[in-house]
Structures are given as structure tokens and as C-alpha cells.
Amino acid sequence: MSGLPGEFDLIARLTAGLRPTRRVILGPGDDCAILAPGRKRQLITIDSMVEGVHFKLKWGSPGALGARALAVNLSDIAAMGGYPTACVVNLALRRSLPMETVDGLYKGLRASARSAGVDIAGGNITSAAQLAITIAMLGELRGAALRRDAARAGDVIYVTGTFGDAAAGWRILDGKLKAGGLNRKFLAARFLRPAARLQAGQALARMRPAPAAIDVSDGLLQDLGHILERSGVGAEIDPDAIPISPAYRSVMRGELALALTGGEDYELLFCIRPGNSERELTARLGVAVRRVGRIVRGRPEISLVGTRKQRLPIRTGFDQLR
């Protein structure tokens, strides 16, 4: 016996006291939620986090897990340059899950949604062998969209933040990489508490022409590969230009593999016409921006340049299905 109440009671309990914005005409508790008509182009995405595949419960608090499930969806909205509006949440619960875990998870989800201005418009609960949180997120475009197919030869490739932290943090949490003290704390937090780059994406969407962009969830090279495929171009990347954190540098001792191919960073990678400096872009986006390479004519391939010359087929990053 699970100690879990029935689905209807549980949804009522988890969504009690939600304070929806005016865009929600009817919230959780009916067959569908009703949203007010939007005048903007709408964004929609769906993403899922599965226990044992994407996380282990013992790695962090249930609240952080709920917040992370929302953040990975917000990151997709950020990568389009959009503004998140509302979401619906499907929880798959295993019978052995303590009720406090479910409550904590939803509490984190609700707090994150509130701080991102996102309405939790509805939900569904099912039983399953693994805990899984699947969120469909709506957003709106107020200007241009940041599309994967917009990269052009000559564009400069930039990234926000630092790379490899989350992948290192995952391995530390999973006992496969050793780190202590502040390094451990920082890298684990980068995995457990990713921040979607919403403001950065929105700032990029105000630039003309609108950059191509993607959020880096599978690894820098793999996600850049998606842009190359959709845009029909190649890229040159200087591995030594990829921004890494002091904690990553210390723990990985200069090994760049995770920075190049580790996933879960939820930073933005974007391609933009030349003529912007790192400093200007950093000020505009509100987050550190670094130039890592450029888009070139040719097949969708990535050439590593600088001191680590190598030509790579795309899709070399993290792929959970392999």
C-alpha cells in the first residue's frame, strides 16, 4: 500500500491554493483548463524527467527536483526567446513513494512556477514503476523567434555561462567522480538547480536579425549539431575558448570532454552576425557571454580548431538512448 490518496484527491491537494493569473479562466479540477485567448504567437514544448534515467531521489531535495523539472521546460522557452505563460503537469508516481516526497516536489514546482510567472493550469497523476515528471509548457513570442535553422556562414557562435559543470555534478552525485568542499557543492548545484536563461533569450530575440539559438541540454557539440543540421552549415569551435568554471577546472584538471559533450547545463548557444563584443553581449543578456567559434559554409560538421585540431561528425554528445 502506498499511502497515496486517490488521483482526484491528490491533484486537489497539490493544486490547492494556487493563485492563477488572469490568463487562467478555469484551473485544475475539470476535464481541461481554460485559458484566455492570447494575441501573440504561442510556444509549446514538452519534456520529461524520469527517476533512474535523469535523476536519483537521494541526490537532492524533492523541492529542487520539482524546480528542476520546471526549469528544463523553461529553458526550451528561453531558447526560442519566449515568455513562459502556463503549464500542465503529469506526475507518474510509484507506489512506494512517500507522500512527503510528492508534496515537497510539488512545492518546489509551485514556487518555481510562481517566480517565473507561469500558471500551473492543470495536472494528471498516474501510477508507474518510476517517478516521472512530464511538463508541457506554453509560452508566447513578443518579437522574433530564436530558431535552430537561422544560422548563416560567417555568424559568430557564442555561449552563456560555463560548460560541463552539470555533467561533472551528476558524476559527483552518482559517485563516479571525486570532489570535495566548495567544488562539490558548486558542481552538484549546477546539476540540481539549473537556471533557465529566460532573460538572455528574450534579449537575443530583440536583436536584428534574430540569432539562431538552442539550449544546451545534451552537450555543446551535440546541440550545436542540431543547429548545423537545421541550418545546413558547418562550424569551427575552439575548445580552449569554451568557458569553464574554476570548480570544473579544479576537479577535471583541464580535461574538456564534459564541457564539450556533457549535458544538462541549460545554457544558451547562439549564432549571430559579427560585430558584437563579448562585453556588449554580456551586458545586454545579463549573463557572461563567450565567443567559442564561428559558422562556416559546408556540411553540418564541427571542426575543432586551435590547439586541439580535429574534425567531428555531429551528434557526439550525451545521448541517453544509446
Among 65, 67, 70, 93, binds a copy of itself (CB under 8 A): 93
Q: How far is the CB of 207 from a copy of itself (least distance, A)?
A: 17
The count of chain residues that interact with a copy of itself, using the rule CB under 8 A, is 77
Q: Put residue 3 in one of left, alpha, beta given phi > 0 → left and psi -120 to 50 → alpha.
A: left
Count of residues in the chain = 322
| Comparison of 275 and 321: residue with beta carbon closer to a copy of itself | 321
Cα 38 to Cα 76, 86, 87, 138, 143: the distances in Å are 19, 12, 15, 11, 14
Question: For residues 29-68, which are near a copy of itself according to CB under 8 A?
Answer: 29-48, 50, 52-54
Question: For residues 142-201, which are near a copy of itself according to CB under 8 A?
Answer: 145, 147-149
Look up residue 109 and give its three cell numbers: 514546482
Among 113, 120, 125, 173, binds a copy of itself (CB under 8 A): 125
| Comparison of 307 and 320: residue with beta carbon closer to a copy of itself | 320
What is the distance between the alpha carbons of residues 281 and 251, in angstroms, rounded to a whole number?
29
Q: How far is the CB of 139 from a copy of itself (least distance, A)?
A: 7
| Comparison of 149 and 280: residue with beta carbon closer to a copy of itself | 149
Question: For residues 240-259, which are near a copy of itself according to CB under 8 A?
Answer: none
Q: How far is the CB of 269 from a copy of itself (least distance, A)?
A: 11
Q: What are 46's strand-pairing partners?
A: 136
Question: For residues 7-36, which are near a copy of itself according to CB under 8 A?
Answer: 7-10, 25-26, 29-36
Cα 170 to Cα 57, 69, 109, 130: the distances in Å are 13, 15, 21, 19
Q: Are strands 132-140 and 42-50 parallel, antiparallel or unpaired?
A: antiparallel
